[in-house]
Chains A and B, each alone.
Chain A
Amino acid sequence: MARTVIPFGPQHPVLPEPIMLDLVVEDEKVVEAIPKIGFVHRGLEKLVEKKDFHEFVFVAERVCGICSFIHGQTYCQAVEQIMGVAVPPRAHYLRTIWGELSRLHSHLLWLGLLADGFGFESLFMHSWRVREKVLNIIEATTGGRVIFGTCKVGGVRRDIDTAAMQSLLAQLAVIEKDMREIVDVFLEDNSVKRRLCGVGVLAKDDAYQLGCVGPMARASGLTQDMRQLGYAAFGELTFQPITRPEGDSFARCAVRCGELFQSVDLIRQAAARLPTGEIEVKVTGNPNGEFAARTEQPRGEVVYYVKANGTKNLQRFRVRTPTFANIPALVKLLPGCDLADVPILVLTIDPCISCTER
């Protein structure tokens, strides 16, 4: 049968950001997918040679507009580890709360995009309506909706006082109820199931061999979650990675749905145990050494490798984003699928090209 190459992207209705796939198809079946990235590569890693290591937190946070806070946090953790900085416990808990709020709004954003991708417009709007409430909490506690700007080397810049925490928890109860209604549709609606079940199945062993991370790995049964490393306050909180055995698009959706409620639970646990005390320590001197910090972004494990030589500018700053780690799985999943399923498969890895084009 004759083969045709169909360019998918870099501009496409399901892609908020540019990535390109050259899809080699036979009739309506994909036989090969060739990804191309780098359309909006910003060279942020190189910028580390010009910004001092304190200032660079602001750049790290701008790697991505969705998981911005955790980018800043991971960078800070790497530098703090090299410098031996003991971050105050309260700052660890505040970082945990803001990190989980990031996960909430990121997963709600993704659920909306997925609903939009399979044509369920009202579900898309409801998902983003609820996300707006999460953004309101973020704005009330940090002053920002996209860039939080609260993380710094040595702790955090802002505190959440008792009254603000009570307000946060009250709003979280409303959000939880709203999310339950939306999640019920994602997990129970027949049209959603028919669109997602059995599409793009990735076996557990394949997910491991392909280096999958985050919900993509957990939806194939891998209990892999960097929060288990115990960074920030996670070592003192109780949680288990949410996994599914099916490995299909529905499982990837279900894992993210489950993680919404897990994040709510983690925020409540952190709020209940929030220690009193300082939120930052003074950091003096320059870093000298290297460390690869790892945290769990909404899309999975992110790696921040930092190498310093005792000057105010770092020698190297490298980010391995979760989307980058999940691209090989996408390349493996696409051959054999129907052309009409490509948007769903691309969406279910929750691609963040902004992160990847750091």
Chain B
Amino acid sequence: MSEAQTYLPLSPDALVAKVRELHAEGYRLVQIGATTLGETIELNYSFDRAGTLLNLRLQLPAAAAHVPSISSVYWCAFLYENEIHDLFRVHVEGIAVDYQGKFYQTTVPFPFGTRAQTAAAPAAGN
């Protein structure tokens, strides 16, 4: 089994427009995932259409990781966006349902973020 998968680099500014385009073409939002790479946070927005996976890739500086929400296009994205905030300290602007850091009940704040992010976070958790 070899499944075709595409990774498309994108800037945060172009994200919502591209997502609108994919929505109009009938893509399903599969997931939003984050990866900490040194002092960079890599975001993958995965979409599926007829069994083919298309990934939009954003690279953000961990110290100032801000992205616009895509929940105005795919409402279900709010869950993933709350997750990447609570675990990676990615600030997502305009989430349809924003739990304000209370979605995950973690003892360690932003446990998957960079060391600098975790150290700078309030000690009481998110």
Residues of A near any B CB (own CB < 8 A)? 34-39, 41, 43, 45-46, 77, 81, 208-211, 228-232, 235, 290-294, 301, 303, 305, 307, 315-316, 318, 320, 324-325, 327-329, 331
Q: Most B CB atoms within 10 A — which of A35, A38, A46, A293?
A: A38
Known A-B contacts A228-B51, A318-B35; the reply to A291 vs B5 at CB < 8 A is: yes
B44 is an interface residue with CB less than 8 A from chain A: yes
Assembled-state Cα–Cα distance A335/B2 (Å)? 41
Residue among A39, A291, A320, A327 making CB contact with B105, cutoff 8 Å: A39
Contact B103 A38 (CB under 8 A): yes
Whole-angstrom CA separation of A232 from B3 in the bound complex: 12
User: Which of B1, B5, B76 is within 8 Å of A235, CB to CB?
Assistant: B1
B5→A328 contact, CB < 8 A: no
Query: Would A37 and B104 be within 8 Å (CB), given that A228-B51, A320-B31, A331-B97 are in contact?
Result: yes
Q: Which residues of A contact B99 (CB under 8 A)?
A: 34, 36
Given A45-B112, A210-B76, A318-B35, answer yes or no on A36-B3 (Cβ-Cβ < 8 Å): no
- Which listed residue, A77, A228, A294, touches B53 by the CB 8 Å rule? A294
A301 pairs with B30, CB closer than 8 A: yes
Q: Contacting A38 at CB < 8 Å: which of B46, B53, B104?
A: B104
**A305/B44 contact (C-beta < 8 A), A232-B1, A327-B79, A328-B79 known:** yes
Q: Are A315 and B37 in contact (CB under 8 A)?
A: yes
User: Are A230 and B1 closer than 8 Å at their CB atoms?
Assistant: yes
Min C-beta distance of B44 to chain A, whole Å: 7
Contact in complex: B35, A307 (CB < 8 Å): yes
Question: Taking the nearest CB of chain B, how far is it from the CB of A313, in angstroms?
Answer: 14
